[in-house]
Structure formats: C-alpha cells, structure tokens
A and B are shown apart, each in its own frame.
Chain A
Amino acid sequence: MKNIENMQLYLIRLGEISLKGLNRRMFEKQLKANIKLKIHPHHSLIEREKGRIYLYVEDSCPEELVYNTLRTTFGVVGFSRALVCEKNFDRICETALKVLETEPFNSGSGTFKVECRRADKNFELNSYQIEARLGALVLERYPQMKVDVHKPEKILYVEIRDMAYLYSSPVKGPSGLPTGTAGKGLLLLSGGIDSPVAGYRMASRGLRLDALYFHAYPYTSEQALGKVKDLAMLLSGYNMGMNLFVVNFTKAELWIKDHSKEEEHTLMMRACMMKVANRIARKRGCQVLVTGEALGQVASQTLEAMCFTNSMSEIPVLRPLVGMDKQEIIDTARQIGTYETSILPYDDCCVIFSPKHPLVKPDVDTETRSFLDMDIDELLDKCVEEVEMFEFSYRV
C-alpha cells in the first residue's frame, strides 16, 4: 500500500481513453506521465481505475498548480479535489461540511443532490440513507438551497470503499487524448488567430507539436516575433512544452518578389514555406505539417490555392480548421487564452509582399512551373541551415 497520508487527492475522469481496447494502457500511461511531469518536482502518485484515475499530490504542492495542470492536460475530462476520511458516519458528516465550504457549494444557493456509491456493503448505512442524511446536512448548512434529484446544479458525491471519499461536481478539463500518443507534427505558427487554434486542436488529439515561424525582419517587426513566442508559450502548457523554430525568411521573400509575377507572390511564398517546413519536419522527425488554413478565408486559402500548396508538401498537411467558421475559431482562441495575444497589432506579413490582386484560382501545373523557374532551392536550404530554436517549458 502506498503511503497516501498527508496527500491531496484528486479524482480525474477520463472520457475517450476509457473506450479504448487493448491499447488503453498506452494512453493511460502517457496521461499519467504528462500529469506527473507537470507537477514535478512535487511528489505525486497515480492509481488507475476504470474510467477514472486517482491523483495523490504531496500536501506542500499548491492547489493552483494541480488545477492548472489538470485544466491543460489533454485526456482529462473533468476533475475534483476529493477529501478522504474514515468510514464512520460522524467523520463523513464533518468532511462533507468541509466540501460544502469550497466551490461550487460555497455560493450557498441553487439546486443540488447527494449521490452515494457504496462499494463496501458492510457499511452501517445503505446508499439511500447516506444520501438522505447528508442532504439534510446540506439544507441545514445552506437553507437557501433546494434538492433536485433530476437536474441538480451541484452534486455532492460520497463513495464508501476502503475509506470514505467525498467530492463535488467536477471542474472541466480539456478532454481529448494525451499529448504524445499520436506521433509528432510541425505547426506552421503565425501571429494570427487561426494557427494557435489549429495547434491546440491537433494537440488535443495526442499529436506532439514543434512550431515553425517565418520571420522577415525588418519587413516584419521584432514585436511580431515576440508575439509568436508568446503564443508558443501559451500553447506549450497543452503541448507538454514546445520548440519554436524561427526561419529568417527575408532573403527568400525578396527573391520571390524579384523572380515571380506580382499576383503570384503569395502563392510562391506559401510554396517556399511548405518546402522549408518539409525539410525541418524531416530533420525533427515530424510526420505531418499542421496549418491554420480555413477554406476560402483569404485568397491563398481557396480550394485551388490549397491544392497548389498541398502539392508542394511531401508529407501530409493537416488542416484542423478547414471547415470551421471564423467565429468558432475565435471562440476557441478565447477559451485557450491565445486570442488577446493574436490580436495585438503587429503584422506578420509586410504589405510590400502582398499583391493587390492575388491569383485566387491558380492552376497547379502553371504555378509549379513558376515555382521551379524561380530557382530558389539553394536559398531555402540556407534558411533551413540557419534556423533558430527557442524552447518553451511545459510548466503551467
């Protein structure tokens, strides 16, 4: 038996993972590792049970760290801080009063119910009796509250097992699958609203991400790069840390400007970005690219333009936002906290490289020829060679 005295207990609910078959353990193992890593150096223990896990954390660990960890760890559907006591009804009442002093019960109003699970059938009272008596206790403490057993706003859970466990309705986690269970991808990160959301979406499916940013100083500012670094940092909590690769793209952009037709500039730039991203992905062992493209959002994201940029990549390009509405994307950005940074007014692209009338329906063959005619390969190799890396910790 592990020594769990003087440890905080959290009950974590798992969603999709518990539906897995033979490989369920792999997902659980990764989740466990992710949680432990984020809470480190605070000591923690994890016990698994079907559909949920119990997390014990040493008492000296700030509750906030655990909350932030669980709120940003994919695989966690919901969690609650649980209190443990002896299997003795008086003790259970005392502990229940403590739970009532915390969220969400401490508001003292609304509807509630008590839900009891009695694994130890030898306990003096049966589940209904426990529920009824604790219900009365809640009403005594908060006379304003009302019982609603069908659609309660708050639930007080009691479990009688080796000990008695008490906890209230769970705080929502981000759901999804544990980061690192689905391989590795390279996220093309700009300073905009979309690409951080695309990264978040793929990380939520278990993909571990590296990020890539194209910097064109002095045409784009140091503040724009700073903004991208901030975004990488915001994503790093979800992604279990993040490495941001910054490519100096100025020479390539100028080359494109001088060696292609004005209306093709944007397409050629995207093609070059794909080429550079492919080379960096190969170096870093990334199996896919991830972009924040949404169909039809701008000229370079029409179906024809996407077909062209897609043809420039040897590895698959995942576009998790392709069918999403802008508002949905913005809502997610707000929820994960990247929106405020994304809307800072530092452009990640300079107007002198943006054609007034870009091609919206490019022909793949024609554009491929234009790309080859630019003869830009050597310059792109150089971009890859001189890439800079910035590391962001998974600390939340």
Chain B
Amino acid sequence: MHYFDWTATTNISESALRVYNDISLNYYGNPSSIHPLGLKARQRLDEERSHIASLLGVKAGNLYFTSGGTESDAIVLSSLLNYQSPGTVITTAIEHSAVLEFKNILTKAGWNFRALKCPGGYLSPEALKEALTPDVRMVCIMSVNNVTGTVLDLKSLVKVVRDFEKQNGRSIHVHTDAVQALGKIPFDPVKLDVDSFAGSSHKFFGPRGVGLLYNRNRSLLSLSRGGGQEKGMRPGTENLPAICAMGQALEDVISSRDKDYETVLSYRKMIEEASLKAGYSLLSPSSESGLDFSPYIINISVKPLPSEVFLRIMADKGFCLSAGSACSTNSRGKAESVLEAMQIRSQDRMSSIRVSICAKNTAEEVELLCRALIETSGEY
C-alpha cells in the first residue's frame, strides 16, 4: 500500500517510539508524587516542556500538554462560557469541526458565532476588518486548511485585529489551529502575535492522544476541573511517555523541515501536473498561482466520478487517499461544507479527493501515483 493520507495521521517514528518506551519503563512515577520516582518524572516533564518550548520559540510557562488538537481548541473555545456577558466570536467557515462544532453550544449561551466565508480557501484582511465589531472577544483562524492546504495570511489578519484593539481599547483573544502547520511550514507564534495555538502530535510522527496548547493569555480560564495539573488548564495525570515522544518527533521534523519542504514541493508539482494531464481540476491553489499554500496537501476534483468511487478504485490499485478530510467519513458532508465555504462548485465538491504527501514518500511512489491518476481517468 502506498500511503498518501499523512494529513489524517502519520505512523509514529522509530525515534519517538524509543523515547515512548524508555519513559514508560523508567519514568513511571506520577509527576505529582513527592517520592523520588515522582520527582524524577516531574523533572523529566519540566525538561520536556522547556525542550518543546525552545523548538517552538515560546516560553515554557505558556505551553500546556493536552490530549490532542481537538482538546486544545476546545479548551480555548469553551473558555468563552466563563465570560460574564457573551459577545461575538469570529472564525472562518473552513475551520476543522473541532472549532465549528462550538457554534451550537456558544450560540445557546448567547454568543454571536460568526464563521466568515473564505473564497478559494483564503480570508482577506479586509473581510476580517469589516467583520470586527466592538463586542468581538475572540478571533479564531486556522493556520493551514486541512482540506485544501491553503495557508492563511495570519500575520496580516492578526495585525488587523491588533489595530482594531488599539482603536477600541478592548483586548481580543486570537487563537489559531496550527495542527497542519507544525513541523511542516515555518510557524512562529510570537512573531505572528497570536495569543494561543493548538497542535497535535500524531500529525508529525508522534504518538496519538497527545497534543499541545500554547497560551499566553493569563485571563483564559479553562472549563476543565481536576487535580490541578497543567496549572489547571488541562487537569489529569500527565501522559509523560507520549509528551516526551511528541517532543522527540517535533525535534526530528523541525530539524529536517526545510529539506522536507523542498522534497514535498517537488512531489506536489508532479501530482499537480499529472492531475491536469488526467483532465482533473485542482481545488487547491496551483503552484504557479503565487498564493500561499502548503505543499503537503493537494485537493483534486476527479469529476465525473464521486470521490467515494474514486477512492475505492485507487485503493484497489494500492493507494490510500482521502475524500476531503478523513474525519468527514464519520459524518457525511463536513469536508463538503468546508469546500462550499471556499465557494467551490457542488459538482467539484462531490468529486473532491485529498492527496497528502510527506517526505517519507519516495519519488518512485509518487511517480506510481501519478501514473495511476492518469490511468484511472482513462478507464472510467
């Protein structure tokens, strides 16, 4: 099987697994215990927090370990429920369900939940500026879209928010879901001037069930309750083996990030070319468009075949691909609605497939994929 679904998840790297085993076997004390084994685990946890913080260029004190991207997003969004009086939260209509699913709960609590349309997968600073009103308390914009790979211009978008803050005199929390950015494209939360971001370990060869939340906003109050771990932001006994393995995985991907990017970009170009040759159309930006995109994800419309049928044909040929977003097979039409918010036509949405690449793919494999794409368009 040739795996081209790295956006959905990755396999754990050998180095991360080694760390996982080592910590599981040798640091099994509860970091909250005060006996030597507990203290040893606590020390290792602190070291790992500093390690990851330095990889990301943030303060260790602002880094919290969670169970994954979804939980990190949830901590930030659900914190709004602690506000005395509701206001407006602005987000995009192309976010992951981890964010969009908060619409109901926040609306019920009196919040105005505005999901802005993103034509082509981008949000312009002008559109955001227009949407800002004095009662906006939070802006939540993803870094890289998981369906098409478009990279949102966070720097300019955050600047719009900060300018508005100055005028209005009331602070706005800016959160970004950076799950598809971490370890793949340069991502500097301090320079971007965001207040918080979410990351997930299994997207960059770390283990499942662990993720991180960066937050520098002291007034953000988590809804979670428990034994006070992670400064109360995410209570529950720390998953130390997974946290340390995530740190190892992150170090690995960041150290080879620029080299990998080039490799993946060349693969992306091959697939793009083959798709056009096969008569398919790109739903992700073309590499010649001058738009900012992540080469790790490419979305293609394989009209007239529905995505589901195309995926079966490709699976029989030995390729693992996704329709829109892997999460979408659980509840039909979610990736479709993301594509709709990008103003992609309905026929193309029905036929959208997502190829996600990584540097672990070989050039031969990508060549095979390209051939299969062209072949399939001729057969069906």
Contacts and interface: CB of A to CB of B under 8 A. Distances in A.
Given A350-B306, A352-B305, A352-B306, A218 B313 contact: yes
A219 interface: yes
B309 A350 contact: yes
B305 A221 contact: no
A218 B350 contact: no
A345 interface: yes
A145 B239 CA distance: 59
B308 to A, nearest CB: 7
A351 to B, nearest CB: 6
Nearest to A254: B380
B304 interface: yes
B259 interface: no
- Most chain B beta carbons < 10 A, residue from A217, A218, A219, A352: A218
B304 A345 contact: no
Nearest to A219: B309
Contact of B316 (A218, A351, A352): A218
Contact of A351 (B312, B313, B332, B350): B350
Contacts of A218: 309, 312-313, 316
Nearest to B332: A345
Contacts of B312: 217-218, 221
Interface in A341-366: 345, 350-352
Interface in B123-154: none
Contacts of B309: 218-219, 350, 352
A249 to B, nearest CB: 14
A221 B306 contact: no
A217 to B, nearest CB: 7
Nearest to A216: B309
A352 B304 CA distance: 7
A55 B308 CA distance: 52
Interface string B298-338: 00000011101100110010000000000000001000000
A218 B306 CA distance: 11
A308 to B, nearest CB: 27
A351 B313 CA distance: 16
Interface in B324-380: 332, 350
Contacts of A351: 306, 350
Contact of A221 (B308, B332, B350): B308
Contacts of B305: 352
A247 to B, nearest CB: 19
Contacts of B308: 221
Contacts of B316: 218
A219 B312 CA distance: 8
User: Among B305, B309, B312, B313, which residue has the most Cβ atoms of chain A within 10 A?
Assistant: B309
Nearest to A222: B312
Nearest to B306: A351
Contacts of B306: 350-352
Nearest to A350: B309
Nearest to A221: B312
Contacts of A219: 309
Nearest to A347: B308
Contacts of B304: 352
Most chain B beta-carbon contacts within 10 A, residue among A217, A219, A221, A350? A219
A326 B305 CA distance: 31
A345 B332 CA distance: 9
A181 to B, nearest CB: 43
- Report which residue of B308, B313, B350 has the largest number of chain A beta carbons within 10 angstroms of its beta carbon: B308
Nearest to A217: B312
B102 to A, nearest CB: 25
A350 B304 CA distance: 11
A219 B313 CA distance: 9
Nearest to B329: A345
A257 to B, nearest CB: 10
Contacts of A345: 332
A352 B350 CA distance: 11
A217 B305 CA distance: 13
Contacts of B313: 218
Contacts of B350: 351
Contacts of A352: 304-306, 309
Interface string A213-244: 00001110100000000000000000000000
A274 B305 CA distance: 27
A352 B305 CA distance: 7
B336 to A, nearest CB: 13
A218 B305 CA distance: 11
A208 to B, nearest CB: 35
A286 to B, nearest CB: 32
A250 to B, nearest CB: 10
Nearest to A345: B332
Which 5 interchain pairs have the tightest Cβ spacing? A218-B312, A218-B313, A219-B309, A218-B309, A351-B306
Given A221-B312, A352-B309, 10 more contacts: A218-B313, A218-B316, A219-B309, A221-B308, A345-B332, A350-B306, A351-B306, A352-B304, A352-B305, A352-B306
Interface of A: 217-219, 221, 345, 350-352
14 contacts: A217-B312, A218-B309, A218-B312, A218-B313, A218-B316, A221-B308, A221-B312, A345-B332, A350-B306, A350-B309, A351-B306, A351-B350, A352-B306, A352-B309
